[in-house]
Chain A
Amino acid sequence: MTAAPKVARALVAAPGRLTSEVGKATFSRMPRPVEQNRPDGYPSDEQFDRAANRALEDRRADEEKAEEFLRQMDERLRAHRNQAG
Chain B
Amino acid sequence: MTTLLETMQRLLPAGSRLYRKAEEPCVVEWSLAPTWPPDMFAVAATLVNLSGCYAHAAVTGGTVASEAASKEFPERVARLGGIWRAADTADSAGLDALTAHLQDLWQALLTAGHESCVGRLDGVLPKWCSAALELMAIADEASSGIGFDSESNLAPRLLRRHWQPKHPKLTSESRRATATLCDLVPPEECCVQPKGRTPQVGCTIRSLTHHLALLPPIGEVTTRYLVQPPEDAVETEELNLLIVPFPFAVADDCFVAHTLHAAEHWGRFRMGTPWYPPGTEEVSGASIATFLVELIARSNEALTKLGKAAGVHGVVLPELALDAPRARLVAERLARDTTIELFISGVNVPPGGSGLPPKNAVHSYLFVGPERRLAFWEQAKHHRWRLDGAQIKRYSLALDPDHYWWEDIDVANREVKIYSFRSSAMLTTLICEDLARIDPVQTVVRAVGPNLLIALLMDGAQYEWRWPGRYATVLADDPGTSVLSVTCFGMVDRYVRQDPPEARTKATAAGEAIGLWKDAAGGRVVELRMNRGDHGVVLCLRMDRTEERTMDRRSDGGTTVQIVHDTSFSIRHAAPA
Q: Residues on A close to B: CB < 8 A? A: 1-8, 10-12, 15-34, 38-39, 41-43, 45, 47-49, 51-52, 55-56, 58-59, 62-63, 65-74, 76-78, 80-81, 84
B275 touches A24 (CB 8 A): yes
Give the interface SS of chain A, mostly helix, strand, loop or mixed.
helix
Interchain CA distance A68-B165 in the complex, whole Å: 27
Interchain CA distance A72-B154 in the complex, whole Å: 14
Q: Does B18 contact A (CB under 8 A)?
A: yes
A52 touches B165 (CB 8 A): yes
Q: Does B425 contact A (CB under 8 A)?
A: no
Q: Does B286 contact A (CB under 8 A)?
A: yes
A23 touches B289 (CB 8 A): no
A-B contact pairs, 10 of them (CB 8 A): A7-B249, A10-B249, A12-B493, A28-B278, A33-B290, A52-B165, A55-B232, A63-B157, A69-B89, A70-B36
Contacts of A68 in B (CB 8 A): 89
From B35, B154, B248, B497, give the contact of A4 (CB < 8 A): B248
B252 touches A31 (CB 8 A): no
Q: How far is the CB of A66 from chain B (nearest CB, A)?
A: 4
Q: A55-B231, A84-B107 are in contact. Are A49 and B166 (CB under 8 A)?
A: yes
A56 touches B163 (CB 8 A): yes
Q: How far is the CB of A83 from chain B (nearest CB, A)?
A: 9
Interchain CA distance A6-B282 in the complex, whole Å: 26
A4 touches B533 (CB 8 A): yes
Contacts of B230 in A (CB 8 A): 59
Q: How far is the CB of A48 from chain B (nearest CB, A)?
A: 5
Contacts of B318 in A (CB 8 A): none
The 10 tightest CB contacts between A and B, nearest first, are A20-B274, A27-B277, A62-B156, A16-B396, A55-B229, A69-B87, A5-B533, A33-B286, A76-B99, A2-B577
A74 touches B274 (CB 8 A): no
How many residues of chain B have a CB within 8 Å of chain A? 81
B272 touches A20 (CB 8 A): yes
Q: A20-B272, A48-B166 are in contact. Are A31 and B291 (CB under 8 A)?
A: yes
A19 touches B291 (CB 8 A): no
Which residue from chain A places its CB closest to the CB of B87 in the assembled complex?
Answer: A69
Interchain CA distance A47-B535 in the complex, whole Å: 35
Q: How far is the CB of A52 from chain B (nearest CB, A)?
A: 6
Interchain CA distance A34-B95 in the complex, whole Å: 61
A74 touches B575 (CB 8 A): no
| Chain B residues numbered 53-104 whose CB sits less than 8 Å from any CB in chain A | 84, 87-89, 95-96, 98-100, 102-104
Contacts of A76 in B (CB 8 A): 95-96, 99
| Chain B residues numbered 431-476 whose CB sits less than 8 Å from any CB in chain A | none
Contacts of A33 in B (CB 8 A): 283, 286-287, 289-290
A19 touches B253 (CB 8 A): yes
B251 touches A31 (CB 8 A): no
Q: How far is the CB of A16 from chain B (nearest CB, A)?
A: 4
From B160, B229, B278, B289, give the contact of A27 (CB < 8 A): B278
From A48, A49, A59, give the contact of B159 (CB < 8 A): A59
A23 touches B166 (CB 8 A): no
Q: Does B373 contact A (CB under 8 A)?
A: yes
From B163, B275, B577, give the contact of A23 (CB < 8 A): B275
Q: A24-B278, A65-B153, A76-B95 are in contact. Are A48 and B19 (CB under 8 A)?
A: no
Which residue from chain A places its CB closest to the CB of B249 in the assembled complex?
Answer: A7
B278 touches A59 (CB 8 A): no
A11 touches B249 (CB 8 A): yes
Contacts of B84 in A (CB 8 A): 73
Interchain CA distance A21-B250 in the complex, whole Å: 10
From A5, A34, A48, give the contact of B373 (CB < 8 A): A48
Q: A1-B573, A30-B287 are in contact. Are A24 and B274 (CB under 8 A)?
A: yes
A5 touches B577 (CB 8 A): yes
Which residue from chain B places its CB closest to the CB of A51 in the assembled complex?
Answer: B371
B17 touches A1 (CB 8 A): no
Contact string against A for B residues 267-292, beta-carbon threshold 8 Å, 1 for contact and 0 otherwise? 00000101111100001001111110
Tell which of B112-120, B332-340, B378-386 binds the partner: B332-340
Interchain CA distance A38-B336 in the complex, whole Å: 9
Q: How far is the CB of A9 from chain B (nearest CB, A)?
A: 9
Q: A48-B374, A77-B32 are in contact. Are A30 and B290 (CB under 8 A)?
A: yes
From B159, B250, B336, give the contact of A39 (CB < 8 A): B336
Which residue from chain B places its CB closest to the CB of A7 in the assembled complex?
Answer: B249
Quick one: which of B35, B36, B98 has the most chain A CB within 10 A?
B35
Contacts of B36 in A (CB 8 A): 70
A63 touches B156 (CB 8 A): yes
Contacts of A29 in B (CB 8 A): 577
Interchain CA distance A56-B493 in the complex, whole Å: 48
B157 touches A66 (CB 8 A): yes
Interchain CA distance A19-B270 in the complex, whole Å: 16
Q: A18-B249, A30-B277, A68-B89 are in contact. Are A63 and B166 (CB under 8 A)?
A: no
Which residue from chain B places its CB closest to the CB of A19 in the assembled complex?
Answer: B251
A71 touches B535 (CB 8 A): no
B535 touches A74 (CB 8 A): no
B163 touches A52 (CB 8 A): yes
Q: A31-B290, A55-B232 are in contact. Are A20 and B18 (CB under 8 A)?
A: no
Q: Does B352 contact A (CB under 8 A)?
A: no
Contacts of A4 in B (CB 8 A): 248-249, 489, 533, 535
Interchain CA distance A36-B89 in the complex, whole Å: 57
Which residue from chain A places its CB closest to the CB of B370 in the assembled complex?
Answer: A51
Q: How far is the CB of B146 from chain A (nearest CB, A)?
A: 11
Q: Does B33 contact A (CB under 8 A)?
A: yes
Interchain CA distance A10-B33 in the complex, whole Å: 70
Interchain CA distance A66-B146 in the complex, whole Å: 12
Interchain CA distance A68-B248 in the complex, whole Å: 57
